[in-house]
Structure 1
Amino acid sequence: MLRLILTALVLLPLTARAETCPAPPNHGDSLDALYQEVQAAPSEAAAQRVVNRMWELWADAPDARAQEILDRGLRRRASFDYLGAVQDFDRLIAYCPDYAEGYNQRGFISFIRRDYPAALVDLDRVIALSPRHMGALTGRALTLMALGRTEAARADLLRALALNPWLPERRFLDQLPPLDDETDL
């Protein structure tokens, strides 16, 4: 009996560590409506209010544990504690590998730190998980620009602008050569 109790006490921490993250919330319908709203926005300011609502959905983590890790990482990033923020986003990604925002935030920090190859890996993962994530698309475009890959940067920027024509990053289109198959914007 004592052996059984000891075994249970040893295995209890392993069971807690084996906790899995639930699937990310499905905000597809809400995002569809917000994309329509942002495309119809009469001004950049109105569009930004819609985009802020999108960020609320993207930052809606799968469960309370994931939300706590994300929020702590965002606070650390805001206070310029990039190392601490990356550690939090690493934890979030390890716990919730199918939640795009962990990769997006870690990729953003890599971009800020000018580690463009690392940023690109994370942004590619975000786009694979959430193909219409405008933050990841514009972040990827800016990362590709920094790497001198202007054609791919323009393609991503055009994809993002098709979702939201009011993006501030639209100003970079003039700095990027047109694509061979690009017709009229």
Structure 2
Amino acid sequence: MKNGVASIIALALSLAFHGPALAQEQTCPPAPDHSAALTDLIRAAQAAEDERSGRMLSNEMWALWSDAPDSYAQELLDEGMSRRNIYDYDGAMKAFEALIAYCPDYAEGYNQRAFIHFLREDFSAALPDLDRTLALSPRHVAAITGRALTLSALERKAEAVLALRKALAMNPWLSERHLLPVLEAAEQEL
């Protein structure tokens, strides 16, 4: 982990001192195109007969979303996720911000930063990152689910219901499926 932090600091310092010239030298390649594999996983999740099978397919989807464009981007993503897992949200945020600066067209950087905002209960900050994730990766089921949870926390129940239904249409086995009746009831009360 120390090497990851050192890399983040080195990139930030290099960008600060060398500006646009260095940024042009260190260009993030396009994210891998996993659209066909994601289509197959979504179809399999829709046809899955039980929760265990659906969860396994969700894990395979995560493997696709977390496949960064290059080794440096992967290092930043892994560092941020490791930091998040030990509740070092400041360190995680730095890693995800560095990832977004390096790879502005890689959806998972925004999704992970949104998750940190969500964990910090800064729901208003999470929503634009989730929207950017979905602009880059419209079938990111986890981001759609995260958007539903964020909208619910912002008391935007009708939008939350629509988002959760959209996610469940792609993967009916999401653990958040149990929240749909609760959100629908809350929407009815409004």
Query: 1:144 Cα shift?
Result: 0.4
- Residues 45-60 of structure 1 aligned to structure 2 (within 5 Å): 45-60=52-67
- Residues 37-116 of structure 1 aligned to structure 2 (within 5 Å): 37-116=44-123
Measure, in 2, the Cα distance between the counterparts of 1:114 and 1:88.
Answer: 19
Stretches of structure 2 that go unaligned for 5 or more consecutive residues are: 1-17
- In structure 2, the residue matched to 1:126 is 133
Residues 44-103 of structure 1: per-residue CA shift (max 9 Å, x gap): 111111110110110000011101111111111111100000000000000100000000
- Residues 24-35 of structure 1 aligned to structure 2 (within 5 Å): 24-35=31-42
Measure, in 1, the Cα distance between the counterparts of 2:148 and 2:85.
Answer: 23
Q: Paired residue for 2:151, among 144, 147, 154?
A: 144
Query: 1:16 Cα shift?
Result: 3.8
Measure, in 1, the Cα distance between the counterparts of 2:134 and 2:110.
Answer: 10
Query: 1:121 Cα shift?
Result: 0.9
For the residue of structure 2 that corresponds to 1:60, the secondary structure is coil
Measure, in 2, the Cα distance between the counterparts of 1:168 and 1:54.
Answer: 15
- In structure 2, the residue matched to 1:183 is none
Query: 1:17 Cα shift?
Result: 3.5
- In structure 1, the residue matched to 2:171 is 164
Higher Rg of the two aligned structures: 1
- Structure number having the greater helix percentage: 2
Normalised by the length of structure 1, the TM-score is 0.87
For the residue of structure 2 that corresponds to 1:177, the secondary structure is helix
Measure, in 1, the Cα distance between the counterparts of 2:77 and 2:119.
Answer: 18
Normalised by the length of structure 2, the TM-score is 0.85
State the AA in 2 paired with 1:27: H
Measure, in 2, the Cα distance between the counterparts of 1:177 and 1:156.
Answer: 12
Measure, in 2, the Cα distance between the counterparts of 1:164 and 1:126.
Answer: 18
Tell me whether 52-61 or 166-175 shows the greater mean CA deviation.
Answer: 166-175
Measure, in 2, the Cα distance between the counterparts of 1:17 and 1:96.
Answer: 11
Measure, in 2, the Cα distance between the counterparts of 1:106 and 1:30.
Answer: 25
Matched residue count: 168
CA RMSD of aligned residues (A): 1.5
Residues 134-155 of structure 1: per-residue CA shift (max 9 Å, x gap): 1100100000001100000000
Q: Which has the higher contact order (CA 8 A, sep 6+)?
A: 2
- In structure 2, the residue matched to 1:22 is 29
For the residue of structure 1 that corresponds to 2:184, the secondary structure is coil
Query: 1:168 Cα shift?
Result: 1.0
- In structure 2, the residue matched to 1:176 is 183
